[in-house]
Structure 1
Amino acid sequence: MAVGMAVDITIPAFEATPLDDIAQIAATARSSFQSQKTKDVEWRLVQLRKLYWGLTDYTEKFQAALKKDLNKPPHDAILTEIHHLFQDLDLTLKKLKDWVKDDKDIDYPWTFAAMKPRIRKEPLGAVLVIGAYNVPLMLSLAPFIGAMAAGCTAVLKPSENAPATAMVMKEMVEKYLDPSSFFVVNGAIPESTALLNERWAKIFYTGNNAVARIVAKKAAETLTPVTLELGGRNPSFVSKSADLALAARRLLWGKTINAGQICLSQNYVLVQKEVVDDFIKFLNASYHEFYPSGPQSSEDYARIINERQFDRIKKMLDTTKGKIVMGGETDRSDLYISPTVVLVDSIDDPMVTEESFGPVWSIVPFDTIDDAIRLANTVDSTPLALMTFGSKSENAKILDRVTSGGATINDAWMHGAIATLPFGGVGESGTGSYHGKASFDGFTHRRTVVEVPGWMDKLLRVRYAPFSPADFKRHLWLTGNRPGFDRDGKVLRGPAYWLWLVFGLGGPSAKGALLRWTVLFASAYAAFFQYRKYRI
C-alpha cells in the first residue's frame, strides 16, 4: 500500500442530499454516459488510478469513520475493507485492457467462420449502487469499481446507518473522480425512493431480503436488471472427524470480527453429538485467548451498529429455549453484545430460525452427517455461505448435497475474503456476483457481432426467394450435424463411429456422404472465385 498525502481526518456531520437534486444527478449521469467518454479504456484506467490514490490518501479518515460508526478497530478496517479494495483495484488495473477485448474464442458452426463472429464488451450505462452498513466502505466501493471498469457512469447510495463512512466516501469521490460521471447520494428512505424512481441501466443492491424485494419490484417496472447481494441463515458443520480446537478457533474468529455483522458468518453450527461438550470447551478456551479481559474492554472488538439492531439480536437471546454456553453479556448503552453461543435442541428455536447478523449463534447437535444435511436443508435451502469441518468424504458429501452461494472447507467464510474471486448468493441469498472480473462482467453487456462479406452471397442463396429445394438440401448437408449417440441414448464409440460422424461412411447414408463432400468442395471452389470477383 502506497503512502498517501495528508488529509484532514475531521469527520463531517451527516447531511442528506437534497431531494430536488437527485433527478438532476441521475440525468447528468445518463448524459455523461451518452457522451461516450466512459467507453475510452484509458479514461477508465485514469479514473481507477485516481480512486486508488483517493483510498490511499483517505485511509486514516476511513479508519476514523469506521471506528465512529461501528467501533471497528483500525486493524479490521484495513483487513476487511481497505486492503480488500486495493486488491480489487490492483487486479482491475492490470487486467482491464484484456477484459475489454472482443471475445473471439467462442463456439459456432464452421460454416459461419467467414463472418468473423465475436462478442464485444460494452458498458450497460448509468447504474445505481446501494451499499450496506456492516462493511460500509467495501460493500459500496467494490461494485462501484466494477461499474467504473466496465465503462458505466454510477451513482452510489451508501447506507445511512453508517453515516460517518458515507460522508467520507462522498468527500473522497467528489475530490478524486470525474464530477459528471460519478456521484454519492446520501440519505435514508426518501432519498433511496427518489433514486429508485429514476431510470437506470442496472441496480446493484447489498442488504436484506425485505428491502431487496422492494428494489426488485421497482426495477421490474422498467425491466431494469438487478444484482442482489443478500444474507442467509448460514450453516457450519463440525463432525467428530474434525480438529475441534481448530474449528472452534476459526469459527469464533468468523463470528467476532466486526461483532459478527458479517453476512457470511455462521448462523448456527451443526456439531456431532459425541463431540459437543469438547467443542464447547474449545470455544471457551479460544474466547479467553482472544479477549483475556473480556470483549467489552478490548480495543479489538466492534459494536452493534445501532439500537434497533441491538434490540433485534437481544430478542433472540431473550426468547431462546436453549442454554447459553459461552458469553451472554449485553449492554445497550454501549451497543455491546458479547460473543455468545447457545446450545439448542430444535431447529425451530429463534436462534436458528432468525438470521442473527451479530456475534450470537447456536449449536445444534446431530447424529449422522445425513441428519445434519437434512437439518441444514430444512432451515434454509439457499444460504449465502457454508462452512464444513470433517473428513474429506464428509466435506465432499456436504458440498454435494447442501446448496450455498459459496463455501469454505476447514475455516470460516474465507471464500469471501479473496477479493479477486466471484462472490454472490443463490436463491434467497441473492442473484449475480461480483469482485474482480465478476464485477466487470456484472456491469457489461456481451454484444454478439458478425461481419458478413459480400462474396458469401452465393453460399447464402438458400435464404432468397424463389426458394430452391436443391439449394435447401445442399444447405442441410453442409450444416447438418450427426449425433454421437444412438436412439437409446448410448454414446457411440470406435473407428466405425468416427467414419460415420466425419464422412458418413459408417452408416446407411454412405452414398449421400460422397455427394455431401463433393458439394462441399464445389461450393468452396465457387466461393473462392466469387471472393476474387468482389476483390477485383
Structure 2
Amino acid sequence: MTSIKLPEFRNTSVEEIPSIVSRLRKTFLSQKTRPAEFRIKQLRKLYWAITDHENEILEALARDLRKSAFESFTAEINWTQNDIIFQTQNLEKWMKDEKPADIAFTNKLLSPRIRKDPLGVVLVIGAFNFPFNLSFGPMIGAIAAGNTVVLKPSEQCPNCAAVMQKIMESALDLDCYVCVQGAIPETSALLEQRWDKIFFTGSERTAKVVAQAAAKNLTPVALELGGRNPAIVTKKADMRLAARRLLWSKTMNAGQVCISQNCILADKDVVPTLIKELGAALEEFFPQGAKSSADFSRIVNERSFDRIKTMLDNTKGRIVLGGTMDRASLFIEPTVVLLSNKDKDDSLLVEESFGPLIPILPVEDLDQAIALANELHETPLGVYAFGSKTETDKILTGTRSGGASVNDGFFHGIIPNLPFGGVGDSGTGAYRGKASFDCFTHHRSITYTPSWMESLLAVRYPPFAGTGKLEQFNKMGLLRPDFDRAGNRKIGLFWYLITLGSGSLLGGAVRAVLLASLSVLAKAYQDGKIALPVKR
C-alpha cells in the first residue's frame, strides 16, 4: 500500500434517506435538470473530478480488489471518462424530438413527434467487481437523460465507495445527485422510497428483492445480472486462440466478471489440446505464477473466497491446472477442472463461480454442446462460440443470451457503444452509449391538432347511426391487407411483370430496365417536373 490517504467510508443515516429523496424530487420538478447545457456541464465536471482523483481511485481499487494499474485504467477510469465524452458529444442530438416513420398522410397533419423526457428520480445500485465502471456508468446515462440520481455503491468495496462519494460531492450539484452509503439496512430504506426507475447491477438473488420492492410502486427496473455463461469449442476451433482468449476473460479481475464463461463445453477430441494450450497461456500470462503477479487481482472478501472454495471442494471433476488457494491473502489461482460428460449437476456448473475457475465438460458433438448450454442456463448473459462460421452461426441460432462473442471471450461487452444487458434471468434492460440515455428516458408521443382540421375530424363525433361516418372514417385510415387468407403475399400484375423471369439473364435485364425507369419517373415527380393524373 502507498501513503495515499483515502476518505473514510461512513454509512448514511437511514433516517436521512427520505429527506434526500424528497430534496431530489423537488429539484427534478423545478426543471433544473432539463436543459442540455446543465446536464453537459455536470458531466464535464465529473470527468475532471475523476482525473483530479485518479491516484485515489487507483489506490482504492488496489486496496479493495488488488487491481493492477492496467485494469484500473482500462476497465474503470478510462472507460468511465470515455463514456462521459461520448454522452456529452451526442446528447443534444439525442434530446431532439423525433419524427415517427411510416405515419399515414392524414396523421402527418397533426405533426406527431416523439419527445425525450427524463423519467424523474432514479436509484442506481452499483456492484463491487468494477465499482467505478458499474456505478458511475449507469449514473452518467441517468444524468445525460436529465434525471436526478441517488447512487448507492457496493459496500463490499468501501474504499472505492468513499472515493466515489468524494468525487460526486466535489463535482456535482448535490441538490440533484447524491451518494448514499451503507449495506442491507440502508439499501432496504432506499427501496422503500418511491422511484421513477431503479437500476441494479448484481446477483439474481438480490435482484428479486429489488424487483419485489419496485413492484409495490410499479417502478420500472433495469437489472444487470450474471449468468452461467457457456463457451462452446468445436473441433474446427483454433485451440491456441480459444485457450488464450478464454483464459484472458477468466483471469481479468480474478474471474469476478459477470460475463466471463462459467464453463467450457468442448468437443471430446480436442479437450487434451485445449488443456495443453490453457497451460501454455497461463505460463505466458503469469511467468512467475499468478500469486506473485501484480497483474492478478484478489477475491473481494472472505465470504466470496469461502463460497468459491466450497464449489471447488465439492466438484466431482479433476483439477488439471492450478488449484492453489490462500485465504489470508484472498488468493485463488486460475484453476482448470476436467469434468465427466455425466457431471451436468456438478457444483461448478449449477452455480456461477464468479471467480477464476475454468471447468471443461467434454461433449460428443456440437448438437450436444448446444443442448447442454440451454440446459445449464436458458438465458445467460453471454455465449462464446469457437469454431467455423457454419458452427458458430449454428450456436448463435440454437442458443439465447444477452449478448455473444464469436471466437473470443466477452468482447461484445467491452465495446463502449454497444447496448449491454441481459435477457430472462440474466437481466432486463440495456445501457452503454446511446442505450444509457434511452434507458433513463421516456419516449413521449405528442401530436398537435390544428383548429382548421375540425371539419375533417367531425367524422369522429356522434351521432353515428345512419350517417355513413364509419365508411368515411375507414376511407381515411383503414389499411387493406396485401395477403390472402392462406397468408400468402398478394402480387399485383405490375409487380409480377417486373419480377417475371428474374431467374434468367433476359428477365433480370428487363427487370433492371423497368426499375431504372421507375426511379427516373419518381425523381421527376419529386422535382415537380411531372404530375400524376387526377381522377375527377
Normalized against structure 1, the TM-score is what?
0.90
Corresponding residue SS for 2:393:
helix
Q: 1-side partners of 2:429 and 2:463: how far apart? A: 48
> What's the CA shift for 1:90?
1.6
The yes-or-no answer on 1:139 pairing with 2:134 is yes
Q: Deviations over 1:433-461 (max 9, x none)?
A: 00011111011011110001111111111
TM-superposed deviation, 1:464: 1.3
1:303 is displaced (CA, Å) by 0.1
Percent identical across equivalent pairs? 51
* Gaps in structure 2 of 5+ consecutive residues: 498-533
Contact 2:7–2:166 (CA under 8 A) maintained in structure 1: no
Residue 441 of structure 1 corresponds to which residue in structure 2? 438
The counterpart of 1:476, out of the listed 460, 474, 478, is 474
Task: Quote the offset at 1:91 in angstroms.
Answer: 1.2
In 2, the alpha carbon distance for the partners of 1:291 and 1:498 equals 66
Match of 1:256 in 2: 251
Structure 2: how far apart are the matches of 1:349 and 1:92?
44
Q: Is 1:389 aligned with 2:415?
A: no
C-alpha deviation, 1:465, in angstroms:
2.0
Give deviations 1:299-328, integer Å, cap 9, x for gaps: 110000000000000001100010101100
Distance (Å, rounded) in 2 between the aligned partners of 1:45 and 1:79: 23
How many pairs are equivalent? 495
Whole-Å Cα distance in 2 between the matches of residues 60 and 498 of structure 1? 70
Is 2:219 the partner of 1:221?
A: no
Residues 1:297 and 2:295 are matched in the alignment: no
How far is 1:106 from its partner?
2.5
Q: Which amino acid aligns with 1:477?
A: K
Measure the CA separation in 2 of the matches of 1:35 and 1:205.
27
Work out the CA distance in 1 between the residues paired with 2:378 and 2:41. Answer: 43
Instruction: Pick from 478, 485, 488 the counterpart of residue 486 of structure 2.
Output: 488
Q: Which of 112, 123, 129 pairs up with 2:107?
A: 112
**C-alpha separation between the residues in 1 aligned to 2:167 and 2:496?**
64
| Deviation of 1:496 (Å) | 5.2
User: Following TM superposition, by how much is the alpha carbon of 1:361 offset from its aligned partner in structure 2, in angstroms?
Assistant: 2.0
SS in 2 for 1:408: strand
Matching residue of 2:449: 452
Distance 1:13 1:114 in 2: 60
2:151 corresponds to which letter in structure 1? L
**Shift, 1:136, TM fit:** 0.7
**Matched AA of 1:26:** V
Mapped partners of 1:77, 1:24: distance in 2: 35
Q: Which residue of 2 aligns with 1:404?
A: 401
- Find the counterpart in structure 1 of residue 206 from structure 2: 211
- Does the alignment pair 1:189 with 2:184? yes
Q: In the TM superposition, what are the counterparts of 1:479-518 in structure 2 within 5 Å?
A: 479-495=477-493
Contact 2:229/2:260 (CA < 8 Å) preserved in 1?
A: yes
Residue 109 of structure 2 aligns to a residue whose secondary structure is helix
CA distance in 2, matches of 1:237, 1:260: 18
Q: Is the 8 A contact 1:146 1:439 kept in 2?
A: yes
Change (3 A) 1:498 1:55: farther
Instruction: Tell me the equivalent position of 1:60.
Output: 55
Q: What is the aligned partner in structure 1 of residue 82 from structure 2? A: 87
Shift of residue 58 of structure 1?
A: 1.5
Report whether the alignment pairs 1:355 with 2:352: yes
RMSD in angstroms over aligned alpha carbons?
A: 1.5
Q: Secondary structure at the match of 2:155?
A: coil
The answer as to whether partners of 2:243 and 2:274 remain within 8 angstroms in 1 is: yes
Q: Alpha-carbon deviations, 1:74-115, whole Å to 9, x = none?
A: 110011111111221121111100100001143322211110
The Cα offsets for residues 388-424 of structure 1, whole Å up to 9 and x where unpaired, read as 1100000000001110000001111010101111000
CA shift, 1:143, in A, is 0.3
Alpha-carbon distance in 1 for matches of 2:135, 2:496: 55
SS at match of 1:289: helix
1 CA distance for matches of 2:303 and 2:474? 68
Q: Which of the residues 424, 427, 449 maps onto 2:424?
A: 427
1:330, CA displacement in angstroms?
0.2
Q: Bigger CA drift: 31-40 or 79-88?
A: 79-88
Equivalent in the alignment of 2:226: 231
Inter-partner Cα distance in structure 2 for 1:521 and 1:190: 75
Which residues of 2 match residues 231-380 of structure 1 at below 5 A?
A: 231-345=226-340, 346-380=343-377
CA contact (8 A) 1:85 1:419 kept: no
Q: Contact (CA 8 Å) 1:87, 1:420: kept in 2 or not?
A: no
What is the deviation of 1:487?
A: 1.1
Query: Which of 26, 29, 43 is equivalent to 1:31?
Result: 26
Separation in structure 1 between the aligned mates of residue 458 and residue 179 of structure 2, nearest angstrom:
56
- Report deviation, 1:55: 1.4
Secondary structure of 1:39's aligned partner: coil
State the 1:498 CA deviation: 9.2
CA–CA distance in structure 2, aligned partners of residues 461 and 521 of structure 1: 25
Please name the residue that 1:3 is paired with: none
Contact 2:207 2:223 in 1 (8 A): yes
Instruction: Report the alpha carbon displacement of residue 494 of structure 1 after superposing the two structures with TM.
Output: 3.6
- The gaps in structure 1 that reach 5 residues or longer are 1-7, 500-519, 523-536
SS in 2 for 1:486: coil
In 1, Cα distance between the equivalents of 2:426 and 2:468?
A: 55
Separation of aligned partners in 1, 2:441 and 2:496: 41
SS at match of 2:270: helix
Alignment correspondent of 2:193: 198
Match of 2:157 in 1: 162
